[in-house]
Amino acid sequence: MSKPIFVARPSLPPLEEYVPFLEEIWETRVLSNGGQFHTQLETELASYLGVEHLSLFASGTAALLLALRALGVDGEVITTPYSFAATANALVWNGLTPTFIDIDRKTLNLDARAIEAAITDRTTAILGVHSYGNPCDVASIEKIASRNNLKVIYDAAHAFSVEDSGGSVLRHGDMAVISTHATKVFNTFEGGIVVCKSEAQKEELDRLKNFGFEDPMTINTPGLNGKMSEVSAALGLVQLRHVSRYIEERKAIHDRYKSELSGIKGLQFYEYKADIRPNFSYFPVFITKESRTEPKRVLEKMAERNIHCRRYFYPLISNFPYYLNQREPASSSTPNAISASDTVLCLPIYSDMTEEDLNHICSTLKAALG
Ligand code: T4K
């Protein structure tokens, strides 16, 4: 049997590039709590991403939890069921009620036309997800939010360094949250980033990730331990030197998939918006009705050949038992989300995929589709 191919394979720069950073950490014994590499990574990331204010976190989930807390969101939050569980979990952990609405058929992001019908007198915010790094309809969402006095948070877990015609997509909303988990385009093994709008917001995020301490004697809002360690920050500094090349390499894999798999009956591509610069974080395809094989069976057939794709995002969050049991009075029917979730398959994509592996994936997929 060939070696396993997973949906993601973390990008790792040469080991020797990390050594000076680790030696420095061993020398200074500063391991966490806002050390020099933490500070340096915040500065370098702000410049790389083209944003002014950001704060680093121990995970994307911790970042999302504390962004919601920092913005003082309460009551109900309009969001998408087509995402990773962390999106809605972060709402529940803040005592908020997710109101699930449908997604746009093409982008698979919140359908802005469905938002206003879901607003109640308890709604205080919109939590959109830039699925696969493809930005939400940010202009419509901004208009609706300002008409209805709602906060906007973007779960930009997949959107590291994605740009639209005006610059970084992370500038949209009151805050945007990135994941730097091992499987992401830019990784710090585990980690997250909140991009925010002001120094005051950053200071609030910094307090919240450090238990809520304003000084050793003062906590006004209880926080978490959500801090990124010095080792993760150092890993990030080394990754940052290489990440532009990783994205280029991912683009090459993306383009090869498109040329190898175009025109196949039963297979449909996911398209990025035309005016963005994507990061090629995922390669989702949809197994349509014309395929002779059910999506679940395609996944199994690929796994039989040691290719481990993932159904991001199946099941819908709203179909997890916990969420099925909650009352979400304003949630609406979500036919587009159901259809995408039932048919999606994310093919492996990572910066150092070999030609041999890519050919193996494509020929297995073609055979699996019948
Ligand atoms: N919002 C959204 C929209 C998200 O997608 C996510 C996370 C979050 C919020 C929360 O961010 P974090 O708190 O995670 O920072 C993965 C990731 O764990 C998760 O970060 C990601 N989204 C989600 C879409 O996918 P799994 O359980 O499918 O992945 P996992 O860990 O099984 O990895 C997939 C494959 O990658 C493995 O089968 C093998 C390979 N792999 C994985 C790891 C961790 C490696 O080769 N090396 C590794 O170290 O959730």
- State the chain's mean pLDDT as an integer: 97
Q: Please give the number of the atom of ligand 1 that sits closest to the Cα of 312.
A: 24
Q: So what's the pLDDT on residue 326?
A: 82
Tell me which residue has its CA closest to atom 7 in ligand 1.
84
Beta strand residue intervals within 42-185, DSSP E: 53-57, 76-79, 97-100, 123-129, 151-155, 163-164, 167-168, 175-179
Average pLDDT over residues 164-180: 98
Q: Please give the number of the atom of ligand 1 that sits closest to the Cα of 190.
A: 15
Ligand 1 centroid to residue 180 C-alpha, Å: 10
pLDDT(51) > 70: yes
pLDDT(351) > 80: yes
CB within 6 Å of ligand 1 — which residues? 6-10, 59-61, 83-84, 86-87, 129, 155, 157, 179, 181-183, 192, 308, 310, 312
Q: Where are the alpha helices (DSSP H) in the chain?
A: 15-28, 36-49, 60-70, 85-93, 115-118, 138-148, 199-208, 230-261, 295-304, 321-324, 335-343, 355-369
Ligand 1 centroid to residue 113 C-alpha, Å: 30
Pocket test for ligand 1, best of 181, 307, 316, 320 (most atoms within 8 A of CB): 181
Q: So what's the pLDDT on residue 325?
A: 84
For 152, phi then psi, to 5°, come to -125, 125
Cβ atoms of residues 285 and 340 within 8 Å: no
Question: With bands split at pLDDT 50, 70 and 90, how would you rate the model's confidence at 329?
Answer: low
Question: With bands split at pLDDT 50, 70 and 90, how would you rate the model's confidence at 2?
Answer: confident
Q: So what's the pLDDT on residue 332?
A: 76
Ligand 1 centroid to residue 183 C-alpha, Å: 5
Q: So what's the pLDDT on residue 285?
A: 98
Tell me which residue has its CA closest to atom 16 in ligand 1.
183
Range in 52-61, 116-125, 189-198, 328-337 the model is least confident about:
328-337
Ligand 1 centroid to residue 24 C-alpha, Å: 30
In percent, how much of the chain has pLDDT > 70?
Answer: 99
Tell me which residue has its CA closest to atom 48 in ligand 1.
182
pLDDT(1) > 70: no
Between the two ends of the chain, the Cα-to-Cα distance in Å is 22
Tell me which residue has its CA closest to atom 12 in ligand 1.
60
Ligand 1 centroid to residue 9 C-alpha, Å: 10
Q: Say how far apart CA 298 and CA 294 lie, in whole Å.
A: 6
Ligand 1 centroid to residue 182 C-alpha, Å: 7
Ligand 1 centroid to residue 215 C-alpha, Å: 35
Q: Please give the number of the atom of ligand 1 that sits closest to the Cα of 191.
A: 15
Q: So what's the pLDDT on residue 327?
A: 66
Write the pLDDT tens digit of every residue in 275-325: 999 999 999 999 999 998 999 999 999 999 999 999 999 999 999 999 998
Question: With bands split at pLDDT 50, 70 and 90, how would you rate the model's confidence at 370?
Answer: confident
Tell me the whole-structure pTM to 2 decimals: 0.98
Ligand 1 centroid to residue 329 C-alpha, Å: 31
Q: Please give the number of the atom of ligand 1 that sits closest to the Cα of 308.
A: 38
